[in-house]
Structure formats: structure tokens, C-alpha cells
């Protein structure tokens, strides 16, 4: 063991002793939960300690939670009305300075959104215990009850894909703290149940930032559905915010001391403050820094791609790109030599024409997100005066609301009594369906061990895959079957 790790062993480990990113991906790997449990328990403990000093106005008694929820909802509602009034009088957006800024946000919160609901995964092993029914309901709804169009992770993945923001896995460590913590809660639910319930309580309360984010994304021509869905599904009357409060009282009989239980619930609530918050991430955006990062990324490949005819200030483009530290200087020289005309319509800049025009020599080199960063940066002070379609792209097509669409069957429709798929509505036995059909055949041969098998497929790493969605539908059907041997006792 090295001297450094000996030192770390001697003192209590702090949040800085872990890489949140490594923790995140190791817990998402196959059998990550069993292999990484001990390490993730330490990670969780360090963050619980770190956030224990934070202030939170959650009441100390379970019976006061309802009034607390009402008050919170009213305050957020009033604040949002104030926001709307300011905006309707012509006030500027509060969060996103431009479309690139909003896309940056979508990408930066991806590590958290791509494990949406994960903190509740550990509850699935207790599906037969009525004390955790509300928590399980929330988890299954995060998974869309196995319907692809309603699975929150699937929805977010599609949002990233449409906007070409899928390269989030290389983000800095600090963006992974929340996601890693949510996975760590899932891996350690057996020893951290009140903290899981408390974290859920804090997470599921409707925040002001969700309402403003959805409003501004729509204004910037980005489909806000993922965010508006959360303003409805998390509603305080019948949605997840309400169910999260019910969950606190439902699980109470499990614990002897109400005071100690509520202290641990509070610790879980505070865990929502760990890592970067929504506003930190929004304020973290630096358009100039992001242009440089985008170009530095491309320089790795770009330095071999240009012909030596392209010379700027005595250096070929390949020579400029050979050193990533020269990118900022290159941007400056391109402005000096007129390749980039800042604070004008980007169409006037040769650099923009080269990367964005149809049949342009560099068409397709930059993703939609990267082009937006470059566009917004070149346009600078005149951005908001440019035509909407040039600045924000063609209007996104409003997809039909998944709830109003006849559900596209992926094959399994159940008899709720037996939990078995109705054979006549089954999948055709063709090459496209072999994976799901063999999962179903295997499942039917398993008997009472079926639920354990399905729980593995409901994990944060798998539930959003075709088989994970199929398993979720089976899990729910077995769980809800009123008279089957699998129903709750
Ligand atoms: Fe969600
Ligand atoms: Fe939720």
C-alpha cells in the first residue's frame, strides 16, 4: 500500500478522497452493486457528514410534513408567478443566456438524469412489503412502468440524442457527484433506509428551477417535455411529492425511535445538496471557455486533416492545431484577420461558412451542440436580434403526448391473475424478438425465483433497455396480480 493510501486509511475519509465519476461508472457496471458496496458506503458516509451542517427547514415530526409540503408548494407557485410577470413585461431570461447555454445545461446534468429514480432501486427487493408501496410506486413510475415512451431515462437519452449532446460521459468529476450518490443509496439501502426515504422526500418536491427551466427551454426551441413531465408527475396532490410524504409515515413502524428516524430522514433530505446544484451548473457556463474546449477537442483529429495551403499568420492550420494551448490564440488571430467577425451575424464570418453551410468543407465535423456554441459566441451582442430560425433552428416537432397515444405494444400484455402474457397478443417469433422471447421463456421456467431474476433487470444500468422494459412490465404485472402466489402478502 502506498504512503498516500496509508495516510487516507488513518484519518476518516472525506468527499475528496473519491472520484465521483469512477464511483458512478463502477456502480453502473455489471454486478457493480455487489462489488462496490463497501466503497460506496464510505462515499455515502462522507457525503452525509459533509451535508450534515447544511440548513433545511423540514419539520421534526412526520405529522407536520403535509403542512410543510403545502407551504413549499405555495411559495414555489408564488415565485413562479413573479417570474412569469417579469418575463411578460419583457424581462430577460433568468437562467439561459442563449440556446448553447441551455444545451450545456442539458449535457451537464446528464449524469444525474441518466440515473433518474436510481436511489429507490434497493426497495425493489422488498416489493412484497406493503410498508414500502409508495416508494416502489415512485420507482416504477420513474421506469415508466416498463413503457418506453414513459421511462424517464429513455426520455432523457432521447433529448440528448436529438440535441447531439451525447458526449456527457467525459464531463469533469464534479458533475457526477449527485448521480454517484443516488447509485450509492441504491447499493446501500439495507443499512440506509431512512436516508433513502429522506433523499426521496427532498428530491421529489417541486423546485422553482424545474418550472423556470421548462419555460426557458421551450422559449429556446428545445423540447421541454422531460421537465414538464416532472412538474406534473411530481405534483403535491397525487404525484411523487405526495407519495414521498406517505412513504415517510408508511415506513415509520419499522423503526423504534421516531426522533432518531426523523433525524436520519433529515440527513437524507440534505444529501440533495451534495455536489453541484442546478443553479451552480447554470452559473458555471462560460461561453468563451466552451468555444475553446470545443475547438481543443477537435484539434486532436483536426491537426492531421488540413491541407498545408491553409496558412494563417505564417502557420499552417495543422501547426496551429498541434498544440491545444494555441487554440485561444488561433481564435484571436482569426478575428484579427477577418475570418471571424464577432458581434455580427455569423453568416458574415468565413469560419462559420466553412463549418456550417451545406456542402461546406467542414460540414458535419461539429455536432449540433458544438455548432450552437460557436454560433452564439460569434453572434455575441447581436444574437437576440438575429432571425429566430437562424439562432434557434427549425421548430422542434411537438411529439404526440405519449399518454394520449395508444400504447405501442412491445409484446407482453398480461393476465393480472396469473401474471402470464396473453399468448394471442404475443410477439411474432422472428429475428427481431429473439432476445425478449428467450427472456420470457426463461422467466416462465423459473417459478418463485422469478421476482429475483426480474429485479436484476430493473437496475439503473438495465431498466431502460428493451429487456429491462420488458422485465419491468412483468415485474409490475406479477406484483399487482391480486391472487397470484407473487402478490403482496
Ligand atoms: Fe423522474
Ligand atoms: Fe419523480
CA of 200 to the centre of ligand 2 (A): 9
C-alpha cell at 278: 442546478
CA of 232 to the centre of ligand 2 (A): 9
What pLDDT score was predicted for residue 277? 94
CA of 437 to the centre of ligand 2 (A): 31
What pLDDT score was predicted for residue 6? 60
Q: Which ligand is nearest to the CA of 156?
A: 1
Query: Residues with beta carbon < 5 A to ion ligand 2?
Result: 234, 240
Spatial separation of the C-alpha atoms in residues 428 and 446, rounded to whole Å: 23
CA of 23 to the centre of ligand 1 (A): 21
CA of 63 to the centre of ligand 2 (A): 22
For residues 376 and 99, is the Cβ–Cβ distance under 8 A? yes
Q: Which ligand is nearest to the CA of 207?
A: 2
CA of 414 to the centre of ligand 1 (A): 25
CA of 6 to the centre of ligand 1 (A): 41
CA of 97 to the centre of ligand 1 (A): 26
CA of 113 to the centre of ligand 1 (A): 8
User: Closest Cα to residue 446, out of 488, 388, 415, 485?
Assistant: 485
CA of 182 to the centre of ligand 1 (A): 13
CA of 206 to the centre of ligand 2 (A): 9
Eight-state DSSP code of residue 312: E
CA of 143 to the centre of ligand 1 (A): 8
Spatial separation of the C-alpha atoms in residues 349 and 382, rounded to whole Å: 14
- Tell me the CB-side half-sphere exposure of residue 165, using CA atoms within 13 A: 26
Residues near 439 by Cβ (< 8 Å), separated by ≥ 6?
Answer: 467, 470, 471
CA of 140 to the centre of ligand 1 (A): 10
User: For residue 420, how far is the Cα from the chain centroid?
Assistant: 33
Spatial separation of the C-alpha atoms in residues 82 and 432, rounded to whole Å: 52
CA of 234 to the centre of ligand 1 (A): 8
Helix H or strand E segment including 103: helix 99-108
User: Closest Cα to residue 243, out of 469, 60, 66?
Assistant: 66
CA of 204 to the centre of ligand 2 (A): 5
Q: Which ligand is nearest to the CA of 236?
A: 2
Counting as low any pLDDT under 50, the low residues of the chain are 1, 3, 403-410, 416-417, 422-425, 489
CA of 152 to the centre of ligand 2 (A): 9
CA of 434 to the centre of ligand 1 (A): 30
Residue 226: Cβ within 10 Å count: 20
CA of 458 to the centre of ligand 1 (A): 15
CA of 409 to the centre of ligand 2 (A): 24
CA of 138 to the centre of ligand 2 (A): 6
CA of 262 to the centre of ligand 1 (A): 25
CA of 302 to the centre of ligand 1 (A): 39
CA of 106 to the centre of ligand 1 (A): 15
Residues near 92 by Cβ (< 8 Å), separated by ≥ 6?
Answer: none
CA of 157 to the centre of ligand 1 (A): 13
- 164-197 core/surface letters (b: 16 or more CB in 10 A; e: else): bbeebeeeebbbbbbbbbbbbbbbbbeebbbbbb
Residue bearing cell 393476465:
415
Alpha helices in 145-224 (DSSP H): 152-162, 177-187, 193-203, 208-219
CA of 87 to the centre of ligand 2 (A): 28
What pLDDT score was predicted for residue 1? 45
- Whether the CA torsion 168, 174, 179, 184 is positive or negative: it is positive
CA of 119 to the centre of ligand 2 (A): 11
What pLDDT score was predicted for residue 406? 43
CA of 338 to the centre of ligand 1 (A): 47
Spatial separation of the C-alpha atoms in residues 223 and 99, rounded to whole Å: 12
- Whether the CA torsion 473, 448, 457, 33 is positive or negative: it is positive
Amino acid at each position: 500500500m502506498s504512503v498516500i493510501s496509508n495516510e487516507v486509511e488513518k484519518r476518516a475519509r472525506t468527499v475528496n478522497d473519491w472520484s465521483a465519476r469512477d464511483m458512478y461508472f463502477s456502480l453502473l457496471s455489471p454486478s457493480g452493486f455487489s462489488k462496490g458496496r463497501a466503497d460506496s458506503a464510505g462515499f455515502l458516509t462522507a457525503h452525509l457528514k459533509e451535508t450534515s451542517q447544511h440548513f433545511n427547514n423540514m419539520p421534526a415530526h412526520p405529522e407536520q410534513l403535509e403542512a410543510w409540503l403545502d407551504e413549499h408548494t405555495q411559495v414555489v407557485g408564488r415565485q413562479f408567478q413573479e417570474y412569469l410577470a417579469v418575463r411578460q413585461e419583457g424581462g430577460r431570461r433568468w437562467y439561459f443566456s442563449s440556446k448553447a447555454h441551455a444545451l450545456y445545461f442539458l449535457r451537464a446534468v446528464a449524469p444525474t438524469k441518466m440515473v433518474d429514480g436510481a436511489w429507490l432501486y434497493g426497495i425493489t427487493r422488498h416489493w412484497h412489503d406493503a410498508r414500502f408501496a409508495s416508494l416502489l410506486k415512485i420507482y416504477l413510475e420513474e421506469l415508466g412502468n416498463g413503457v418506453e415512451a414513459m421511462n424517464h431515462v429513455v426520455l432523457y437519452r432521447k433529448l440528448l440524442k436529438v440535441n447531439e449532446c451525447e458526449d456527457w460521459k467525459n464531463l469533469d468529476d464534479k458533475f457526477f457527484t449527485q448521480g454517484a450518490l443516488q447509485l450509492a443509496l441504491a447499493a446501500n439501502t439495507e443499512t440506509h433506509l431512512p436516508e433513502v426515504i429522506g433523499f426521496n422526500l427532498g428530491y421529489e418536491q417541486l423546485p422553482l428551477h424545474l418550472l423556470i427551466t421548462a419555460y426557458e427551454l421551450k422559449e429556446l426551441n428545445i423540447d421541454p417535455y422531460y421537465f414538464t413531465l416532472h412538474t406534473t408527475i411530481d405534483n403535491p396532490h397525487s404525484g411523487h411529492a405526495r407519495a414521498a410524504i406517505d412513504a415517510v409515515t408508511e415506513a415509520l413502524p419499522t423503526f423504534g425511535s421516531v426522533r432518531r428516524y426523523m433525524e436520519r430522514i433529515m440527513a437524507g433530505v440534505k444529501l440533495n445538496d451534495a455536489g453541484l446544484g442546478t443553479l451552480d451548473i447554470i452559473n458555471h457556463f462560460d461561453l468563451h471557455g466552451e468555444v475553446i474546449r470545443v475547438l481543443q477537442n477537435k484539434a486532436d483529429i483536426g491537426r492531421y486533416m488540413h491541407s498545408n495551403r491553409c496558412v494563417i499568420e505564417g502557420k499552417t492550420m495543422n501547426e496551429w492545431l498541434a498544440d491545444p494551448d494555441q487554440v485561444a490564440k488561433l481564435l484571436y488571430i482569426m478575428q484579427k484577420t477577418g475570418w471571424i467577425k464577432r458581434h455580427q451575424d455569423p453568416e458574415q464570418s468565413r469560419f462559420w461558412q466553412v463549418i456550417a453551410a451545406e456542402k461546406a468543407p467542414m460540414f458535419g465535423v461539429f455536432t449540433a451542440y458544438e455548432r450552437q456554441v460557436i454560433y452564439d459566441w460569434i453572434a455575441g451582442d447581436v444574437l437576440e436580434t438575429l432571425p429566430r430560425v437562424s439562432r434557434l433552428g427549425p421548430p422542434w416537432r411537438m411529439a404526440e403526448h405519449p399518454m394520449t397515444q395508444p400504447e405501442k405494444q412491445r409484446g407482453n400484455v398480461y393476465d393480472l391473475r396469473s401474471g402470464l402474457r396473453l399468448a394471442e397478443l404475443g410477439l411474432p417469433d422472428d429475428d427481431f424478438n429473439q432476445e425478449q422471447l428467450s427472456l420470457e421463456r426463461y422467466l416462465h421456467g423459473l417459478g418463485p425465483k422469478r421476482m429475483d431474476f426480474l429485479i436484476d433487470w430493473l437496475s439503473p444500468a438495465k431498466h431502460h433497455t428493451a429487456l429491462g422494459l420488458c422485465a419491468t412490465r412483468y415485474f409490475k404485472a406479477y406484483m399487482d396480480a391480486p391472487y397470484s402466489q407473487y402478490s403482496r402478502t
